[in-house]
Amino acid sequence: MRVAVMGMGSWGTAFGMVMADAGNDVALWGRNDARARALTAEHENHAFHPGIELPPTMWASSDPGRVLDGAEIVVLAVPAQTLRENLTRWTDELPREAVLVSLMKGLEVGTLARMSEVMAQVTGRPDHQLAVVSGPNLAREIALRQPAATVVACADEAVAARLQQACMTPYFRPYTNTDVVGVELGGIVKNIIALATGMSEGMGFGDNTNAGIITRGLAEMTRLGLAMDADAMTFMGLAGIGDLVATCMSPLSRNRTFGENLGRGMTVDEVVGITKQTAEGVKSSQAVLELARRAGVDMPIAEHVAAVVHDGLAPRDMVRSLMTRDAKPEWEGE
């Protein structure tokens, strides 16, 4: 199929490579014309995946109309907080029958909209033309063609199955799901929990600490999902615990790395200054907390992470506050 990937960053490029390896004609859009021309000519994304050869069928352009022309699948891989603006700009050039696929794992600040909701609001597309991909998908490992699994979610099971076939390769195994809400929430919340495990790592704490954060983080993710009518089983799968473990534990995770730097004593502004890629959890944390409050869900880890990245709470004070909360049963209230 003809595939347009809107975004030439680390994950957009890696997923475009997957789809090209699966036999599709893949075009990438990027803002930087020189980088787009270099990728087309040299089959390499020097900025994000140096040394990795991309399929010769992949090409890139800074002209969105050219990239979108004739696309049957449009993959959206821009920073979450820029989606609405970018998609508004591209709407008239989007092929009418194309399925829109989100790779983004963020919640829009202000509206508290998930990315599929932003896609629907801006384009007016029905649910069967909106899909999301989420799971333990560290872009560098996938670009190296290491074995990985993911979830392709769409309200229409037949569309999800079609997308599944479009991105299945010997090293990339997608599973289908119709729980779009749960798959998206898993991808959003895990970034916030990864910030917390990163701070733990930066402060020199060990595996017991991180295991506790991950496990209680999963509880928070699941509670929020159930309040939003998601399927509890989604959080036991690749888009839930799978993505959570990978993002919290891997040094390739940009959210964990951001948290590590905070734990070592850097300020948020200092970490932003040295961070090459977007750490979605930083901007989404306050929005997730607002969503949880609207839903009447207690999310203490998310609340404390938001206090660190938005209100200046010191990571060590965050740990002290979390550890001295009232004692409670594991499964009865939080």
Is 283 tagged catalytic? no
Place of tokens 């014309």: 33
Alpha-carbon gap, residue 121 to 139, rounded angstroms? 28
Q: Chain-centre distance of CA 312, in angstroms?
A: 25
Place of tokens 């473990």: 245
Alpha-carbon gap, residue 32 to 4, rounded angstroms? 16
Contact at 8 Å (CB) between 104 and 77?
Answer: yes
Residues facing residue 61 across a β-bridge? 29
Would you state the structure tokens that stand for residue 80, as one six-digit string? 């979450």
Write down the H helix ranges in the chain.
Answer: 10-21, 33-42, 64-68, 83-90, 115-123, 139-143, 157-166, 180-202, 207-227, 243-249, 254-263, 268-274, 280-295, 300-311, 315-323
Amino acid type, 262 = L
Amino acid type, 170 = P
Alpha-carbon gap, residue 206 to 209, rounded angstroms? 6
Active-site annotation holder among 190, 276, 283, 328: 190
Residues 6+ apart with CB under 8 A from 215: none
CA distances from 173 to 142, 170, 244, 323 (A): 11, 7, 18, 39
Q: Which residues are catalytic?
A: 190
